[in-house]
Amino acid sequence: MIQEVESHSHHISRQFNIELEDVKTRMLEMGGKVEKQLHDAINSLVSLDSELAQRVRDDDNLIDTLEVSIDGQCSRILARRQPAASDLRLILAIIKTIRDLERIGDESSKIAKMAIRLSQDGDLPKGSGEIQHIGELVRHMVHNALDAFARYDTDSAVAVTDEDEDVDEQYSAAIRAMIDCMQEEPAKIDSFLNLVWALRALERIGDHAKNISEHILYVVRGTDVRHGGLNR
């Protein structure tokens, strides 16, 4: 009888591990789609490709659907399995991460919207170089945050938080430069404002990538490192 109970418990434990791995895999797959959406959004802006930009905006519905589906899967696991300790932290971190991913998708869609507006003007004003540079930095952050989550790599997660500081500094410098450009070319102020909104979206994406890295530290270390609580 005891052996049957142990065998049954082992089966439940193994099935639970499969469910955890499945939901984590789905989250990472969602992350891959968001990465591509961000990549395409930046490319659509610097190349003034309105068709690519529209595809980015259309893809945002898929990202929203994935978030709802994965969130529902996590809720069912919480209800049925009532996980504790590290398993509970993992599920909570996945729920938070898919929300950050969904918001990265929203910000990517905003960048694509700016690309469509700028394509109608016919050319990019000064400052587009900063968009491409900061865009590459932010893409790198998102990719590294997801990679760190896949491997539970806390060192890489901490590195992402450091990268966010660099993005914030370069964002501030780019905004100051953009203001100077507006004063020099007031006739192009609408185009400059579209670039400003795109820069703002990129800065927010960096914040969400930092959030994901903090979720990883929560899973592994069991501590909340938000609001300056990072322990290196």
What tokens does 50 get?
A: 């309105």
- Residue 3 has what pLDDT? 37
Write out the chain's pLDDT in tens, 232 residues.
333 333 434 445 889 899 999 999 999 999 999 999 999 999 999 999 999 999 999 999 999 999 999 999 999 999 998 998 899 999 999 999 999 999 999 999 999 999 999 998 777 777 677 888 999 999 999 999 999 999 999 999 999 999 999 999 999 999 998 888 888 888 888 888 999 999 999 999 999 999 999 999 999 988 776 655 555 5
**Residue given tokens 């193994």 in the structure block:** 14
- Residue 232 has what pLDDT? 53
- Judge whether 179 lies within some domain: yes
- Residue 111 has what pLDDT? 97
- Judge whether 198 lies within some domain: yes
Residues 214, 220, 225, 230: is their CA dihedral positive or negative? negative
- Judge whether 230 lies within some domain: no
Distances (CA, A) of 222 to 20, 59, 79, 154, 212: 17, 34, 21, 12, 15
- Judge whether 228 lies within some domain: no
- Judge whether 229 lies within some domain: no
- Judge whether 61 lies within some domain: yes
- Is residue 97 within 8 Å of 26, Cβ to Cβ? no
0.75 exceeded by the pTM? yes
Domain count, the chain: 1
Distance between CA atoms of residues 50 and 70, nearest Å: 31
- Judge whether 58 lies within some domain: yes
The enclosing domain of 131 has a CATH number of 1.20.58.220
Distances (CA, A) of 82 to 5, 41, 91: 19, 40, 11
- Is residue 199 within 8 Å of 175, Cβ to Cβ? yes
**Residue given tokens 């991460």 in the structure block:** 97
Residues 67, 70, 74, 76: is their CA dihedral positive or negative? positive
- Judge whether 232 lies within some domain: no
- Residue 66 has what pLDDT? 97
Distance between CA atoms of residues 14 and 10, nearest Å: 6
Question: Where in the sequence is the domain holding 123, given as residue range(s)?
Answer: 2-221
Greatest CA span in the chain, whole angstroms? 84
- Residue 1 has what pLDDT? 38
**Residue given tokens 């004003």 in the structure block:** 125
